[in-house]
């Protein structure tokens, strides 16, 4: 399985007090208990190792035989922004060249899920015709972000408004959960060598191009089997 479409989803949901049962950083919730963590206004939080919500143990770093192609990122609510970083470079920047002061792309542009209810802070969900739709980034990030072996990568989320912690003990809704979703193509093993060659040749790193390159390799090998050996090889004296 050398080409895999992966995804990672972050939420600001935290463990219940005293609860030790959770899997891959996702806590267990039940009716009357779905606590969420506070987010400070304009304070970036790393979704992998930021210490809030479900996290990883270590930052995202690619092994020597891995490439990833980050296709899409999405957030909710609209006041949340997502910024993708690779090593020390941030993807979204303001026209003056400084990394986006608002914190990247907002949930207005890339709502997660697509078609979710627009629920302004303190007002709650509006009517169904106010659903948020992803029209501007329907095909994700074009061109996508390529992360090479050995590079660190991650996503930071920034809320424009302060989000208070909640015990989630009352009537809870999905619209109260801050969340971020990132989708990427993981290329590992022998396919990462093909990816390297495609990048060196200036080709977009897509599934179709990787397949096509592998076909061409096979075709070249078939031709190679047909070709006669060079004169100096075929007439050379055996040395052993």
Partner 1 sequence: MAIRKQLYTWELYGDGGDGTSLTHYPRGGESHSIFYGNFGLVQAGRQAGLVKENEFIVIEKLGCTPGISPEARVDGAGALTAWQPNMFVNIVIDTTNYYQDPQNVWASGVSGTASPYPKTTADMPYYDLWPPIYVLPHQTIDIRYTMFNDIFNSAGSGTYTTIPTDLLMAAVFVQYTLYDGTDALMARKLMQLGIPVTVGSVENYRRLLLEQKGLETDTFEHYLAAIQSEKKREEKQRKNQGLARHETYGSDD
Q: Which residues bind partner 1 (CB under 8 A)?
A: 1, 3-9, 11, 13, 21-24, 26-34, 48, 56-60, 63, 72, 74, 112-117, 128, 131, 153-154, 168, 171-174, 176-177, 179, 181, 183, 186, 207, 211, 214-215, 217-219, 222-223, 225-226
CA distances from 220 to 1, 199, 200, 225 (A): 24, 20, 19, 9
Least CB distance to partner 1 at residue 57 (A): 6
Backbone angles phi, psi at 143, to 5 degrees: -75, 155
Q: Nearest CA to 70 among 101, 104, 37, 99?
A: 104
Q: Which is nearer to partner 1, 89 or 190 (CB)?
A: 190
Least CB distance to partner 1 at residue 31 (A): 4
| Residue 237 DSSP one-character state | P
H or E stretch including 61?
strand 60-61
Least CB distance to partner 1 at residue 211 (A): 6
Q: Which is nearer to partner 1, 21 or 233 (CB)?
A: 21
Q: Which is nearer to partner 1, 25 or 99 (CB)?
A: 25
Q: Locate 149 and state its tokens.
A: 């072996």
Q: Would you tell me the crossing angle of helices 207-226 and 190-201 to the nearest 10 degrees?
A: 100
Q: Which is nearer to partner 1, 49 or 162 (CB)?
A: 49
Cα angle 175-178-183, degrees, rounded to a multiple of 5: 110
Residue 68 Cα to chain centre, angstroms: 9
Least CB distance to partner 1 at residue 233 (A): 20
Q: Which is nearer to partner 1, 93 or 145 (CB)?
A: 145
| Residue 240 DSSP one-character state | -
Least CB distance to partner 1 at residue 232 (A): 25
């Amino acid at each position: 399985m050398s080409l895999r479409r992966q995804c990672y989803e972050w939420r600001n949901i935290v463990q219940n007090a005293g609860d030790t049962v959770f899997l891959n950083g996702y806590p267990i919730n039940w009716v009357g208990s779905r606590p969420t963590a506070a987010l400070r206004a304009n304070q970036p939080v790393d979704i992998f190792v930021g210490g809030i919500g479900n996290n990883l143990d270590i930052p995202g770093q690619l092994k020597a035989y891995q490439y990833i192609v980050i296709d899409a990122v999405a957030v909710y609510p609209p006041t949340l922004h997502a910024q993708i970083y690779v090593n020390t470079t941030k993807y979204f920047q303001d026209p003056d060249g400084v990394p986006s002061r608002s914190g990247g792309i907002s949930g207005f542009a890339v709502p997660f899920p697509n078609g979710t209810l627009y629920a302004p802070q303190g007002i709650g969900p509006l009517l169904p015709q106010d659903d948020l739709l992803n029209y501007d980034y329907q095909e994700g990030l074009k061109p996508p972000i390529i992360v090479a072996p050995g590079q660190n990568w991650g996503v930071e989320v920034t809320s424009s408004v302060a989000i208070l912690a909640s015990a989630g003990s009352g009537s809870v809704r999905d619209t109260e959960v801050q969340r971020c979703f990132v989708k990427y193509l993981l290329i590992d093993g022998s396919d990462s060598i093909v990816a390297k060659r495609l990048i060196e040749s200036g080709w977009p790193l897509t599934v179709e191009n990787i397949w096509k390159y592998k076909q061409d390799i096979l075709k070249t090998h078939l031709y190679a089997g047909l070709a006669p050996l060079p004169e100096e090889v075929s007439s050379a004296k055996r040395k052993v």
